[in-house]
Structure 1
């Protein structure tokens, strides 16, 4: 389950030093970029209840690493409705909107991305 608190939400708090506040639909390019900067999101890490990600998965990613991917031309799409407002302290809304994907009325349609 995603989220710093593993509650399915991109909530944040004082313990979340990485600010896992962006709900991203991860792509192969984004995952490769993250691995290249030392943030392997593909390999499962059971000790952190982390399943490992595949393209199309939706996951709460850190604001800094997502921003770095944006700056390097490898940003993942963002589900704005599920992204925490705290991210605005680091990433401008206009940048997030550029990568925004619509959330359909029937959320099961997002499963087709994987």
Structure 2
């Protein structure tokens, strides 16, 4: 059982759009996931612009890869290092703590994640 940053069972991040390195809706990770796609983020206009500026355009559809493009409000499993970069640039999106894999804590402090937690 994978755990989240709170130490409980990892919850689903999003099935629409279908996210996760394994495209199973969860921000689970493994040895094949070099990018460590472990942060369940609710993307914002600011984050999408930041991500495009640093070379990862998540807004543009790429149907050849089955990717419809993200819109503000979508939840998506981000690379832990990208979320940390966005935090430094004051562009970090909100985080769903229950759906953010514990391995994220290798890159980001829990206190920073909690400050950006989605209020539900």
User: TM-score band (shorter)?
Assistant: 0.7 to 0.9
Asked if 1:93 is matched to 2:110, the reply is yes
Q: Report 1 or 2 for greater relative contact order, CA contacts < 8 Å, sequence distance ≥ 6.
A: 2
TM-score by length of 1: 0.86
Residue 78 (structure 2) aligned to one of 42, 45, 61: 61
Q: CA separation in 2, counterparts of 1:87 and 1:42?
A: 23
Q: 5+ unaligned residues in a row in structure 2: which ranges?
A: 1-17
Q: Which residue of 2 aligns with 1:39?
A: 56
Q: 5+ unaligned residues in a row in structure 1: which ranges?
A: 104-114
The SS at the match of 1:15 is: coil
- Please give the per-residue CA displacement for 1:42-99, whole angstroms capped at 9, x wherever unaligned: 0122343322100000000111111101000000000001100010011111110110
Q: How many residues align?
A: 103
Residue 11 (structure 1) aligned to one of 12, 25, 28: 28
Structure 1 runs of 4+ with >3 Å offset: none
